[in-house]
A and B are shown apart, each in its own frame.
Chain A
Amino acid sequence: MSSIRIVARTQSWRNGAVILPLVAVLITLLVTSGAVFAANANPLQVFFEIFIEPFRSRYSFLETLVSATPLFLTGTAVALAFRSGYYNIGAEGQLLVGAIFAAGIGPRLGGVPQIFGILAMVFAGAFGGLVWALIPALLRTRANIDEVVTTLLLNPTATLLVAGLLNGPWRNPVTHFNESERIVAAAEFPILLSRSRINFGFVVAVIVMIIVALVVHRSALGLKMRAAGLSPEGARFNGLAVEGLLLKAALGSGAIAGITGACLVGGIQFRLTEGISGGLGYTGILVATLGGLNILGVAAAGFLLALVNVGASSANRVFGIPAQLSAVISGSLMMITVAVMLFRRYRLVYRKAK
């Protein structure tokens, strides 16, 4: 009888790291075109609007980079933690608390030089994210409490904290809107290119990515973290202090997620607002996975998902298709990618009938 069998590869397929994600994207587009059809639109036109149109206009392209900036950061945050075997699913909450700290210090930086103001914002964000990441990290390393559950529970808690501040003590005293006081000019991230929203946050994201890439791929600490992630028992057997490594990865991850919040406050919103994140922390998990937990991959995946986000809202304007298409594409892409990536380690063998 002829049959198709799945056989383990003797060596992992190197080119697969590039080819397979592209295959995953293609399959995702095929699958999600069903949703586009159902909403009475032509998938070819919609996907053209999402993936090609941004490259034809300066503004759309820069807007995609603006949208990619927080994804670079949350993707890097998640990749750093996952690589070390610490499942930080709390980037959303850490981002929000980082934004709270940045929005708290932002209006009080009047009279300082702008470079100091920006640094203060970034550090405030990092500190906020770190604080929020510290609780689950300590619970995991000291009491062996599953970090997946605690980081997840702290996400809605942070959302409520933001809402509580904005409806209570931080409600804008002038407009009475539920948004905090505007940050001062010295705390604002400068715009990099005229007639766009691309700002210093993009530079922050690139710097953070370079630092994390150097630490993970080129330092002893990074090697130890990866060892702990691949096999905690093995790492422990070889004398590595796995708990200490997990704590470092968790706090680094939280700090980066917090910096994302600072970038959103300093470069886009200039204040704390209720919808400031809208799931960027969760999308970061998708970016990290899609990027194969390495930083170049995160950059590519972050850009791709930014295209999907920006493109879905422009497809919404042009074709009236719901902008939630971006979440449909993202979610399918995540599941399809993990499935397709198996072919790095396995291959299909067709056996002819005998």
Chain B
Amino acid sequence: MSFLVNVLEAMLRVSTPLALGSSGEVVTERSGVLNLGIEGTMYAGAFFGFYAAYQTDSRWVGLAVAIAVGALAGALLSFLVVTLGVNQHTAGLGMTIFLIGTSEFVNRAALGTGFGTSLKVETFGVIKPFGLGGIAAQYGMTYVTLLIVVPCLWWMLRHTSLGLAITAVGENPEAADVAGINVKLTRYIALIIGGMLMAAGGAFLTLATLGSFTLDIIAGRGWVCLALVIFGRWGVFRALAGGLLFSFVYALQFRLRLLDAWQGVPFELLLALPYLITIVALVASGRNAKYPGAYLKPYRRA
């Protein structure tokens, strides 16, 4: 019983950055733009959030800086793919390489450490609502993400004029333009919101779970988020469900490693399991997935 409680408790924690990253990518892709900068944006959020928190001694400043960096990254990518209309795969990957490089450069230059640092910041703590422990003992950011951010995004996408505009420019920008929606501005907003969410997801790792920054901290989580978006067919709740599945497998392998019977299995092979499960889930759900109509297409007025 306590085994299952442990696994479920870890599942919710592990799913938090994935929920933030994948919902950021959902908002972005709904507007018709692919953001392959997600891995780098999460990385920069993790690093600059930590760096700011370390410099100012405030985790709140850290979180705010991470979100601001995410917004900047979203705006920069928008300039490339929305204003200039360049290839989204290349621009996004360039963004990822640039942001990871810049984070590690600043880490080395300003904090003087290369191989992961032992510098620590005070983290956002675990809260136990109504004194409940077990599964309910989670970071505040996890509660905010799962109970407030994701539902609000769902509502925003479905019921607000901004959300409808985002979907409209992603499906049929010509029609949206005729209907009086500013296509480019809407895409900028979607990419900036998306970038903020991704960076916050990265910052969760440094400012809540770890309290420090280590190299390769994101370790492919951004790529997992891309898969979750397709798995979730561009819905935030369905992407979250995929994230919970990934996290469940992740938490399970982590607990199994502690059992004697599993000592002989190299833990890296168990660590690889969640990535493989994600691919399997993608195959099961993503066959002939219906992408947004204007996916990858820059919009230029004729």
Contacts and interface: CB of A to CB of B under 8 A. Distances in A.
A197 B275 CA distance: 37
A328 interface: yes
A152 B223 contact: yes
A145 B108 contact: no
Contacts of A300: none
A209 to B, nearest CB: 21
Interface string A160-177: 110111011100000000
Interface in B162-202: none
A322 B224 CA distance: 30
B282 A282 contact: no
Nearest to A325: B105
Contact of B287 (A145, A155, A330, A339): A145
A335 B101 contact: no
B46 interface: no
Nearest to B97: A331
Given A153-B220, A156-B220, A324 B108 contact: yes
A334 interface: yes
Interface stretch (B5-13, B56-64, B85-93, B233-241): B85-93
B153 interface: no
Most B Cβ at <10 Å: residue of A139, A160, A289: A160
Given A39-B109, A146-B230, A338-B94, A153 B104 contact: no
Interface in B34-72: 34, 36, 40
Given A144-B288, A285-B90, A338-B91, A160 B268 contact: yes
A145 B286 contact: yes
Given A35-B105, A161-B269, A327 B97 contact: yes
A303 interface: no
Contacts of B95: 331, 335
B129 interface: no
A153 B87 contact: no
A139 B283 CA distance: 8
A155 B275 CA distance: 10
B-side interface size class: 35 or more
Given A156-B219, A324-B105, A334 B94 contact: yes
A144 B95 CA distance: 27
Contacts of A35: 102, 105
Interface string A332-350: 1111001101100000000
A170 to B, nearest CB: 10
A153 B279 contact: yes
Q: How large is the interface on A (under 10, 10 to 19, 20 to 34, 35 or more residues)?
A: 35 or more
Contacts of A139: 279, 283
Contact of B226 (A152, A169, A289): A152
Interface in B94-119: 94-102, 104-105, 108-109, 114
A328 B102 contact: yes
A242 B271 CA distance: 36
Nearest to A35: B105
Contacts of B98: 327-328, 330-332, 334-335
Contacts of A335: 76, 80, 91, 94-95, 98
A321 to B, nearest CB: 8
A211 interface: no
* SS of A interface (majority): helix
B266 interface: yes
Interface in B264-302: 266-269, 271-272, 275-276, 278-279, 282-283, 286-289
Contacts of B100: 327, 331
A233 to B, nearest CB: 14
A149 B223 contact: yes
B253 to A, nearest CB: 11
Contacts of B227: 149-150, 153
B84 interface: yes
A148 interface: yes
Contacts of A68: none
B68 to A, nearest CB: 18
A322 B108 contact: yes
Interface string B194-237: 00000000000000000000000001100110110010000000
A299 interface: no
A89 interface: yes
A157 interface: yes
Nearest to A145: B286
Contacts of A334: 90-91, 93-94, 97-98
The 10 A-B pairs with the shortest beta carbon distances in the complex, nearest first, are A331-B98, A327-B101, A334-B94, A164-B268, A156-B220, A322-B108, A168-B266, A331-B97, A164-B266, A152-B223
Interface of A: 35, 38-39, 87, 89, 135, 139, 143-146, 148-150, 152-157, 160-161, 163-165, 167-169, 282-283, 285-286, 289, 321-335, 338-339, 341-342
Interface of B: 34, 36, 40, 76, 80, 84-87, 89-91, 93-102, 104-105, 108-109, 114, 219-220, 223-224, 226-227, 230, 266-269, 271-272, 275-276, 278-279, 282-283, 286-289
26 contacts: A38-B109, A89-B89, A144-B289, A145-B287, A149-B230, A149-B282, A152-B220, A153-B227, A153-B275, A155-B220, A156-B220, A160-B268, A160-B275, A161-B269, A285-B90, A321-B109, A322-B114, A324-B105, A324-B108, A327-B97, A328-B105, A330-B98, A330-B101, A332-B98, A334-B94, A338-B86
Given A153-B224, A157-B272, 13 more contacts: A146-B286, A152-B220, A154-B275, A154-B279, A157-B275, A169-B266, A282-B96, A322-B104, A324-B101, A334-B90, A338-B94, A339-B80, A341-B86
